[in-house]
Structure 1
Amino acid sequence: MQDKVMFKFVNFVMNSGKSFQMQKFFSIINHRDFVLSLALVVGLILGEHTRPLAELSVYTLAFVMVFATTGFSFKNWVPIGNALKPLAWSTFLNFIVFGLVLIGLSWLFFSNDPGHRYFPYYVGFILVAAAPPGPSVIPFSTMLNGDNNFSVTGVFGLHFIAMVLTPLILLLFLGDSLIDPLKIFNIMVQLIVIPLIISRFLRHKKILPTIEKHRETVIKWGFFLVVTPIMGMSASVFFAEPGIVLTMSLILLISMYVLGFLYHIIMDKSGARRSMIISSTFMMTTKSSAFSAVAAFTFFQGEPMIALPSAVVSVFVTLFIIVYSGFLKWWEKK
């Protein structure tokens, strides 16, 4: 009798240990840092073979946006001041602060060479600076418990504002308006408006608890399917121009990481809400590399170098969520 009891106890302990190990294994492979890092590695390995995923990336990101925006309610826009304040702050951070820093650094490194060999890279950075914020601001902010109202309001509103600001920025720095506002509108409809409408139905009280349970997992692995082809289609460019890529990396390191972390520290010391700081940091440092890449390929088909900054930006945006989450852990332990 005692032997049977002992056997059952040992068997229970062993099964519990295996169960714990499996849970730990799945928690590791489902961690956002692992998922995004895996996307970078898989993209570099597969290269051009990621083209089928690239062709579906708009729809994949739209699907991610549906889940990301289920946490947002239009009631947060009442009174209207709740929308105007984050919209004004988002415009200031994304287009003015980040835009001017990015343009200034790219002008310093790429616009003054005598042979104008590097000028196309400067044009590429202008396209990035003129782009609206990336829709990834919303799911990234959600992953780090940011202010969903601020994120959705900023991204949604700045796509409207970009219809005016983007042509003006291009006119000011390039001397001619190169972007059709209708293209901005199309991106907004596909990646913001339609997902936001669909997410309203998913906020039904009988559906929302299930959505909330699986939201983070869907967002993480949805981004895996988006980031992998961006890296894959850019892999050959990264290996062909290492010196230029390093220079661009320095520009983005300063304009995204240094500027973003300084902003977070200043806002935290001023007593701002943690969730608002996180969302506004993403709003400042995240540009739509997909938008700027499409603009480069559409309007500068004979200048493939102009699209290179967008490819590098896509890597730094992906890495930012990983590095920023690590920065948060370090800063909040101090």
Structure 2
Amino acid sequence: LGANDWPLILTASGTGAMEAAFLNAVSPGSSIAVFHAGRYGERWMDFARAHQIHTYEITAPYGHTFDLEEVKQLLTRAVSLKAVFFQDSESSTGTRHRTQELVALIQRHQPQALIVVDAMTGLGVHPLSIQSGIDVLITGSQKSMGIHPGLSLLGLSERYLNQLHELHLPRVYFDLRKEFEAQQKQVTAWTPAIGLMGALGTSLDRIHGLGGAQVLQANANLLANSLRAALDHWGIPLFSKYPGDSVTAFMLPEAGAFIQRLKEEENLVVASGQGVLEGQILRIGHLGFISANDMAATITGIERTFLKIGASYPHGALAKAQSFLDQAPRL
């Protein structure tokens, strides 16, 4: 995360961490900006509407990212933004946003604005750090750290910590002032998920033993490229025009039924789309401790299911993916 202080650990889902970051950054009567292009990014708008916060909004079609000229124009005309919120990786569509370019534009045109980035599926996959000008980086225990869901982590900049004493939106459980003060004493403000805390320590030890987060980043990139080589062999385009390395999304006819067959017949669990994309796309992750063997089994299982249903996709996708899988680290 790159924070100077140990990141805050909350017993909460990723959405809980997003709401905590929002409530502790926004003041009544202030203005914010939200950039969103998928189901997860839309949650920032849910928070803004719930608290009736004046919001400048930029959207992009699902599978696309934001037009930087449009972002620049919005930041130029907006009046004294308190904060800007967006995702690094929109995993509902398999899209990576241009985080560092967005950060640079915000710093140039709205230097006082806090920059809050949901990196649930970006951290440990793409190079991200508080030191690059981001004020809040959010991730969760079930993503790159590979344990059960239930913990979320927030890396916070000095600037974000220093403004916590200001007037903000009402909050109790998600009052990060209390949480920061408690965790400075090596306790938590509220009852923690002790079992998950222990698992988190074990996971971090494992990542350190592998050589650090850069090993996970390299692994995710190689697995993403291996799956995309297989998709290219089958002639299946990616859903996203700006794909990231955490999730690959692609469309298939009757995707929901295909996903069910993978689960029942191949013991493979992959995700469908959300909202309007439910039953239309498959989403396959390659972050955290997913291995080359896992990806090889996934590609093989998909191709075997194509054969079972009589789909006319060419055989031999694993051979196309193998050069990437051979380079992947042993996890």
Band of TM-score, shorter chain = under 0.3
More helix by share: 1
**TM-score normalised per structure 1:** 0.25
Relative contact order, higher structure (CA 8 A, sep 6+): 1
**TM-score normalised per structure 2:** 0.26
More strand by share: 2
The structure with the largest alpha-carbon Rg is 1
